[in-house]
Amino acid sequence: MNLTIIGTGYVGLVTGTCFAEMGNTVTCVDIDKQKIENLEKGIIPIYEPGLDAMVTRNVNNQTLRFHTDLQKSLDHCDMAFIAVGTPMGEDGSADLQYVLDVAKSIGKYINQPIIIVDKSTVPVGTADKVKDVVASELKNRGVEIEFQVVSNPEFLKEGDAINDFMKPDRVVVGTEDKETAEKMRQLYAPFFRSSMDRMLVMDVRSAEMTKYVANAMLATKISFMNEIANICELVGADVNKVRIGIGSDSRIGYSFIYPGSGYGGSCFPKDVKALKKTAEQNGYSAQLLSAVEDVNNRQKLIIADKVISHFGSNLSNKTFAVWGLSFKPGTDDMREAPSIYIINKLIALGAKIQAYDPKAIDEAKEFYLKDISEVSYAASKYDVLKNADALLMLTEWKEFRSPDFMEIKNNLKSPVIFDGRNQYDSERLQKMGFEYYQIGKN
Ligand code: NAD
């Protein structure tokens, strides 16, 4: 099939590349000229394991190309995927301006029947809005062209996006049109070699809702476990043991119940808020979702609070080494990363930060911790420890899992570790003379 992917960010680039890998002819479009120029030169704008090689292979095979010209890209296109951002608007709802701009352009430029597929995360009712915008553009042009609007939310995880896309747990397709459902089935069939059972076709509104509910459920699990961790600390229980104790119940399971420094990233915070807003707009107060957010906002600062209770609230002569800046391992994405909140709080109390992250340092320097002179960076995890008063472990990259603790001890001014991801064995560290703070265990 000839596919146009509009918006070449995390989702658009991965989607386009994976569809090209399966033999489709794909054009990825973006309004960001620099991004497209770089992609044409083989420079990939994001860190995502396995993506570079797959992009190069498909560009060389001429199954994948990049463009800024949407009009040209829509020529001979069977399906146009909308994969632009839906950031949080001022009132907490999803800002649909980019999605609706794209819908307008599609209506302006298409000359043949087309399936418009919404991959961006959008509130219930957005497909209807997209339909109205496209129809009104066609009417202005005085032409009649058949088109369908499908909801096909994306569930990939940054850091494992290629794997998630190529071997999906499920693909959700929202359409009430049988022929369109069949075309979507054909498109996704190569991703399900044994059975199409995991392709879930439903009505558009349920598909739009499914994406928000999935993210809200995952955020709820995280906040629930963080709340339990905080209670464990107060009563002298060890949340690491409690986690295993409850996970062994097959109704609960082990996944996504790790306590930590709270959730971040581009999706959970904005999607929980947008779902809450949707409820509110329909006269319902989503109390559980509000609590999920409140717990998370507090949790993002828990490690900073532990630093303050250890060192006091005047940190003007203190320097902290930070391991990990991205909101989770495997990505350079720093959107809403807990590290930003923790670092800013410590700096406000006078501290200096020496940070290291395997992939996110450029993002930090360019955007999220830009021009903050109190933050310096080093090229290795051991270099940032020199002359630091303590180590703060904030993102559980694999290279931090089993470090040389003697080297850590020899480099730090005092052997203190604050672990925001409960990665280490507290008994071992205590025996080695560390003061070791983690989440949910004293
Ligand atoms: P992103 O910010 O990385 O990328 C969006 C891209 O769209 C940018 O490159 C931007 O320049 C481009 N764009 C904006 N307006 C455009 C236009 N009119 N024409 C062409 N390009 C345009 O965003 P993302 O992380 O890829 O997320 C996209 C959507 O997918 C969001 O709704 C998000 O919630 C959802 N989503 C994201 C993830 C994730 O892990 N990042 C996972 C699932 C779903």
Q: Tell me, what's the pLDDT at 165?
A: 98
pTM score, whole prediction: 0.95
Residues 6 or more apart whose Cβ sits within 8 Å of residue 141:
107, 108
Is there a domain that residue 305 lies in?
yes
Ligand 1 centroid–CA 87 distance in Å is 9
For residues 304 and 293, membership in a common domain is answered with no
Local confidence band at 416 (pLDDT 50, 70, 90 cut-offs): very high
Is there a domain that residue 37 lies in?
yes
Q: Is 267 a catalytic residue?
A: yes
For residues 251 and 326, membership in a common domain is answered with no
CA–centroid distance for 62 within its chain: 29
CA–centroid distance for 47 within its chain: 12
For residues 344 and 358, membership in a common domain is answered with yes
- From the CB of 84, is ligand 1 less than 6 Å away? yes
pLDDT tens digits for 82-109?
Answer: 999 999 999 999 999 999 999 999 999 9
- From the CB of 293, is ligand 1 less than 6 Å away? no
For residues 14 and 38, membership in a common domain is answered with yes
Q: Tell me, what's the pLDDT at 321?
A: 98
For residues 308 and 425, membership in a common domain is answered with yes
For residues 139 and 120, membership in a common domain is answered with yes
pLDDT tens digits for 150-189?
Answer: 999 999 999 999 999 999 999 999 999 999 999 999 999 9
Ligand 1 centroid–CA 266 distance in Å is 10
pLDDT tens digits for 211-223?
Answer: 999 999 999 999 9
For residues 338 and 415, membership in a common domain is answered with yes
Write down which residue in 246, 275, 298 finishes a domain.
Answer: 298
Q: Ligand 1 pocket test: which of 4, 6, 8, 10 has the largest number of ligand atoms within 8 Å of its C-beta?
A: 10
What CATH number should be reported for the domain holding residue 251? 1.10.1040.10
Average pLDDT over residues 397-411: 97
Give the range of the structural domain holding residue 99, as residue numbers without chain letter.
2-202
Ligand 1 centroid–CA 7 distance in Å is 6
- From the CB of 101, is ligand 1 less than 6 Å away? yes
Local confidence band at 41 (pLDDT 50, 70, 90 cut-offs): very high
pLDDT at residue 376 is higher than 90? yes
> How far apart, in whole angstroms, are the C-alpha atoms of residue 264 and residue 383?
27
State the Cα torsion 416-421-423-426 to the nearest 10°.
Answer: 50
Q: Tell me, what's the pLDDT at 301?
A: 97
Write down which residue in 202, 222, 237 finishes a domain.
Answer: 202
Write down which residue in 162, 177, 202 finishes a domain.
Answer: 202
- From the CB of 226, is ligand 1 less than 6 Å away? no
Q: Tell me, what's the pLDDT at 96?
A: 98
Local confidence band at 202 (pLDDT 50, 70, 90 cut-offs): very high
Local confidence band at 196 (pLDDT 50, 70, 90 cut-offs): confident
- From the CB of 168, is ligand 1 less than 6 Å away? no
pLDDT tens digits for 334-349?
Answer: 999 999 999 999 999 9
Is there a domain that residue 442 lies in?
no
Total structural domains in the chain?
A: 3
Q: Could you write out the three-class secondary structure of the chain?
A: CEEEEECCCHHHHHHHHHHHHCCCEEEEECCCHHHHHHHHCCCCCCCCCCHHHHHHHHHHCCCEEEECCHHHHHCCCCEEEECCCCCECCCCCECCHHHHHHHHHHHHHCCCCEEEEECCCCCCCHHHHHHHHHHHHHHHHCCCCCEEEEECCCCCCCCCHHHHHHCCCCEEEECCCHHHHHHHHHHHHHHCCCCHHHEEEECHHHHHHHHHHHHHHHHHHHHHHHHHHHHHHHHCCCHHHHHHHHHCCCCCCCCCCCCCCCCCCCCHHHHHHHHHHHHHHCCCCCHHHHHHHHHHHHHCCHHHHHHHHHHCCCCCCCEEEEECCCCCCCCCCCCCCHHHHHHHHHHHCCCEEEEECCCCHHHHHHHHCCCCCCEEECCCCCHHHCCCCEEEECCCCHHHCCCCHHHHHHHCCCCEEEECCCCCCHHHHHHCCCEEECCCCC
For residues 286 and 409, membership in a common domain is answered with no
- From the CB of 9, is ligand 1 less than 6 Å away? yes
Task: Note every long-range contact of 132-138, with CB atoms under 8 Å and residues 24 or more positions apart, other chains counting.
Answer: 133/100, 133/103, 133/104, 133/107, 134/103, 134/104, 134/106, 134/107, 135/107, 136/107, 137/104, 137/106, 137/107, 137/108, 138/107, 138/110
For residues 29 and 129, membership in a common domain is answered with yes
Q: Tell me, what's the pLDDT at 133?
A: 98
Is there a domain that residue 245 lies in?
yes
Q: Tell me, what's the pLDDT at 81?
A: 98
Is there a domain that residue 92 lies in?
yes
Is there a domain that residue 284 lies in?
yes
pLDDT at residue 375 is higher than 90? yes
Is there a domain that residue 207 lies in?
no
Q: Ligand 1 pocket test: which of 27, 68, 81, 84 has the largest number of ligand atoms within 8 Å of its C-beta?
A: 84
Local confidence band at 195 (pLDDT 50, 70, 90 cut-offs): confident
What CATH number should be reported for the domain holding residue 12? 3.40.50.720
Q: Tell me, what's the pLDDT at 395?
A: 98
Q: Tell me, what's the pLDDT at 194?
A: 80
Calculate the alpha carbon distances from 304 to 240, 258, 260 in Å.
21, 19, 13
For residues 6 and 93, membership in a common domain is answered with yes
> At which residue do the structure tokens 């709340």 appear?
227
For residues 332 and 433, membership in a common domain is answered with yes
For residues 315 and 170, membership in a common domain is answered with no
pLDDT at residue 193 is higher than 90? no
Largest CA distance in the chain: 79
